[in-house]
């Protein structure tokens, strides 16, 4: 019988990084350097999930350069860049936020989706949090590795890019998971996340840990020194209406509701023709879902993510008025 190979990136919980004493100390120091500036919640979430090697680099920049604090602050306060990153992760390009008119929402009683993409980023591969530019948007494009990133982080990003920007693109079996319509909706809004734990040597068995994600609100003014609250453990849902759980997922074999921390098993009899989901892409989606949930961007409307420019609207109205006067 094939043994399971554990995922080196698997952690005990969905927010273990946020509890790291060194991370908390560095972020507190960075916050002091940038004078506790207010951050959009997207920038705040990216700050807290930034690779530790990059945080150390930012702190060194602040200590050694007079312009360092301003440079670091800009990385987490540039709204347009942050929106672009989040929209890419949500598979919602900035220039096509609106959905097709007349498109109907799938009924949850319909048959399950054939396969849901593991990576909701399509052909965009995000670099680690803290880099305020989106990565390549196509196979022909490349991105410069941010200075200060650790060797392990560079290796991780290279694996992600190889999976997404490879010759087969994203429409491959290893980038797909079978989900019911309800689970699909909860997945694409980061209501839950899957932490890949281990895959068997024969690539026939994959184990992941299921977690309901917290629901936060998108904000334009988060204190840079605010510490994230712990992600809830043992939850039966992340959605409540009038204090009652409103959406659950069930294990049809046990007829029990899925709870945060439950281990799910994926199996295949044909790892070549019908491979299991890619561990690399599951790792990437694990990171993205947690940032989306912490930032509140998962539930943000198009208008909240990309609000209309009031000045532009005023100019447009003025131009129309001028035409009428002519």
Q: Is residue 10 part of a domain?
A: no
Judged against a pLDDT cut of 80, whether residue 51 lies above it is answered with yes
What average pLDDT does the structure give for the chain? 73
* Beta carbons within 10 angstroms of residue 152's beta carbon: 12
pLDDT of the residue at 115: 47
**Cα gap 258→254, rounded to integer Å:** 10
Kindly state the percentage of the chain with pLDDT values over 90. 23
Q: Is residue 298 part of a domain?
A: yes
Q: Is residue 219 part of a domain?
A: yes
Instruction: Note the pLDDT tens digit of each residue in 63-90.
Output: 999 999 999 999 898 766 776 677 666 6
Which range among 65-74, 248-257, 294-303 has the greatest average pLDDT? 65-74
Q: How confident is the model at residue 232 (pLDDT cuts 50, 70, 90)?
A: confident
- Domain, as residue range, for 44: 16-90+162-304
Instruction: Return the higher-pLDDT residue of 247 and 240.
Output: 247
- Among the ranges given (40-44, 79-83, 91-95, 138-142), the one the predictor scored with the smallest mean pLDDT: 138-142
**Cα gap 93→140, rounded to integer Å:** 18
- State the residue for tokens 């510490």: 227
Among positive and negative, which fits the CA dihedral 49, 51, 54, 56?
positive
Instruction: Return the higher-pLDDT residue of 176 and 202.
Output: 202
Q: Is residue 323 part of a domain?
A: no
Residue 212 phi/psi, 5-degree rounding, is -75, 140
Q: Mean of the pLDDT values across residues 314-324?
A: 49
Residue 205 phi/psi, 5-degree rounding, is -135, 130
Q: How confident is the model at residue 242 (pLDDT cuts 50, 70, 90)?
A: low
pTM: 0.70
Q: Is residue 270 part of a domain?
A: yes
Judged against a pLDDT cut of 50, whether residue 98 lies above it is answered with no
Q: Which residues contact 275 (CB under 8 A, 6 or more apart)?
A: 173, 174, 203, 268
- Among the ranges given (44-48, 205-209, 232-236, 320-324), the one the predictor scored with the smallest mean pLDDT: 320-324
Q: Is residue 271 part of a domain?
A: yes
Instruction: Return the higher-pLDDT residue of 268 and 243.
Output: 268
**Cα gap 180→107, rounded to integer Å:** 10
Q: Which residues contact 247 (CB under 8 A, 6 or more apart)?
A: 182, 186, 191, 237, 238, 239
Instruction: Return the higher-pLDDT residue of 95 and 56.
Output: 56
Judged against a pLDDT cut of 70, whether residue 127 lies above it is answered with no
Q: Is residue 134 part of a domain?
A: no
- Total domains present in the chain: 1
Instruction: Note the pLDDT tens digit of each residue in 266-282.
Output: 999 999 888 998 888 88
Judged against a pLDDT cut of 80, whether residue 49 lies above it is answered with yes
Collect contacts of 25-32 with beta carbons under 8 A, ≥24 apart: 26/52, 26/55, 26/56, 26/58, 26/59, 27/55, 27/224, 27/225, 28/225, 29/59, 29/62, 30/55, 30/58, 30/59, 30/62, 30/72, 30/224, 31/223, 31/224, 31/225, 32/225
Q: How many CA atoms lie within 13 A of 108 on its CB side?
A: 8
Judged against a pLDDT cut of 90, whether residue 23 lies above it is answered with yes
pLDDT of the residue at 160: 66
pLDDT of the residue at 193: 92
Judged against a pLDDT cut of 90, whether residue 112 lies above it is answered with no
Nearest to residue 222, comparing CAs of 281, 115, 298, 296? 296
Nearest to residue 72, comparing CAs of 9, 148, 160, 21? 148
**Cα gap 286→167, rounded to integer Å:** 24
Q: Is residue 174 part of a domain?
A: yes
Instruction: Note the pLDDT tens digit of each residue in 149-196.
Output: 556 667 767 776 766 666 666 667 767 788 888 888 888 888 899 999
DSSP per residue, 138-157: STT---PPPTT--HHHHHHH
pLDDT of the residue at 21: 93
First to last CA, the chain: 83
pLDDT of the residue at 312: 44
b/e map of 140-151 (b: 16 or more CB within 10 Å)? eeebeebebbee
pLDDT of the residue at 33: 95
Cβ(267)–Cβ(205) under 8 Å?
Answer: yes
**Cα gap 256→209, rounded to integer Å:** 16
Residue 9 phi/psi, 5-degree rounding, is -90, -10
DSSP per residue, 192-224: EEEEEEEEETTS-EEEEEEEEPP-----S-EET
Instruction: Note the pLDDT tens digit of each residue in 30-48.
Output: 999 999 989 989 899 999 9
Nearest to residue 182, comparing CAs of 106, 293, 292? 106
Q: How confident is the model at residue 60 (pLDDT cuts 50, 70, 90)?
A: very high
């Amino acid at each position: 019988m094939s043994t399971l190979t554990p995922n080196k990136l698997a952690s005990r919980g969905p927010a273990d990084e946020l509890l790291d004493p060194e991370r908390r100390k560095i972020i507190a120091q960075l916050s002091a350097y940038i004078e506790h500036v207010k951050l959009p919640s997207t920038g705040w979430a990216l700050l807290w999930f930034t690779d530790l090697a990059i945080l150390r680099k930012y702190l060194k920049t602040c200590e050694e350069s007079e312009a360092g604090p301003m440079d670091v602050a800009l990385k987490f306060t540039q709204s347009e860049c942050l929106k672009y990153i989040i929209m890419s992760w949500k598979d919602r390009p900035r220039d096509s936020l609106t959905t097709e008119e007349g498109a109907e929402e799938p009924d949850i009683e319909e048959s399950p989706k054939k396969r849901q993409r593991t990576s909701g980023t399509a052909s965009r591969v995000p670099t680690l949090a803290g880099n305020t530019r989106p990565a390549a948007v196509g196979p022909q494009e490349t991105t410069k590795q941010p200075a200060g990133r650790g060797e392990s982080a560079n290796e991780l990003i290279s694996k992600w890019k190889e999976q997404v920007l490879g010759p087969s693109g994203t429409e491959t079996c290893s980038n797909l998971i079978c989900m019911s319509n309800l689970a699909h909706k909860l997945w694409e809004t980061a209501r839950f996340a899957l932490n890949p734990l281990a895959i068997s040597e024969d690539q026939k068995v994959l184990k992941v840990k299921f977690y309901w994600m917290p629901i936060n609100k998108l904000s334009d003014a988060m204190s840079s020194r605010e510490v994230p609250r712990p992600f809830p453990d043992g939850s039966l849902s992340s959605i409540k209406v009038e204090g009652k759980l409103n959406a659950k997922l069930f294990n049809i074999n046990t007829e029990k509701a899925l709870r945060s921390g439950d281990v799910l098993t994926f199996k295949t009899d044909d790892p070549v023709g019908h491979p299991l989901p890619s561990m690399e892409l599951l790792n990437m989606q694990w990171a993205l879902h947690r940032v989306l949930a912490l930032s509140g961007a998962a539930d943000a409307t198009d208008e909240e993510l990309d609000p209309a420019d009031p000045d532009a609207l005023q100019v447009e109205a003025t131009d129309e008025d001028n035409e009428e006067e002519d």
